[in-house]
Amino acid sequence: MDQVIRVGIVEDEALMRGMLEQTLSAEENIRVVHSVPGATEARLVFTPGSVDIAMLDVHLADGNGVALGVQLQRQDPDLAVMLLSSEDVMGLYTSVQEDAPRAWSYLSKRSSFARDVLVRAVAATAQGQVVLDPYLVQRSEPRAGSAVADLTPAQFGVLRLVAEGLSNQAVAERLGINTRSVESHLKSIYQRLGIDGDGSNRRVAAVLAFIEQTGRAWRT
């Protein structure tokens, strides 16, 4: 990750906003360009091309982070969006994916306190990946009759980790296998899910299939 990732934060809780700023600013390849408490300020400073990722609190004092994300991404289709919330908002999250010019990521505030989780999510999102909250991902189970339900336990385990934003190398290290095995699992996953193409687009499509076909598991 050589290119500097420009991040804009919209978070109305000062303590949370400060934590995000401090954690991300400590990274050599991440620069916090904007950090504001609400949607009103965000609309003024988030001009097209000013940031690579907008990190948006879902519940803002002066608006809704989801609606703000839709507006900002409509103005800048290349903008990556990451939602932050202290509660399960998968319903809101999934409602915007179909029409979004670029798929969004979603992280709980609890998970964002873990430096490695936060930094990994930002890096993967900047590279065009979709990252989901690891706590929710690990609670998920496939819907009966879905294509995801046809995956083997090993394949589903790999898909879960991909949904958390892990690279092939990181997946291999987590599972104690080599990267060739991960690549083989991913090839089988793409085939079983009917995903064509190559590169990162297949990875994104697989995570979106994971979201759609494990929906029942998001209810807590």
Q: Do domains 5-131 and 137-218 have the same CATH topology?
A: no
Q: What is the CATH number of domain 5-131?
A: 3.40.50.2300
| pLDDT tens digits, 146-202 | 999 999 999 999 999 999 999 999 999 999 999 999 999 999 999 999 998 776 689
Q: What is the CATH number of domain 137-218?
A: 1.10.10.10
Quote the pLDDT of residue 97.
73
Quote the pLDDT of residue 215.
66
Domain ranges of the chain: 5-131, 137-218
- On average, the pLDDT of the chain sits at 91
DSSP-based three-state secondary structure for 48: coil
Return d(Cα 52, Cα 122) in angstroms, integer: 10
Eight-class DSSP state of 142: P
Give the pLDDT mean for 1-17.
91
Q: What is the share, in percent, of the chain residues with pLDDT greater than 90?
A: 73
Crossing angle for the helix pair 200-213 and 153-163, to the nearest 10 degrees: 110
Return d(Cα 17, Cα 7) in angstroms, integer: 12
Predicted TM-score (pTM) of this structure: 0.85
Asked whether the predicted pLDDT for residue 104 surpasses 80, the reply is yes
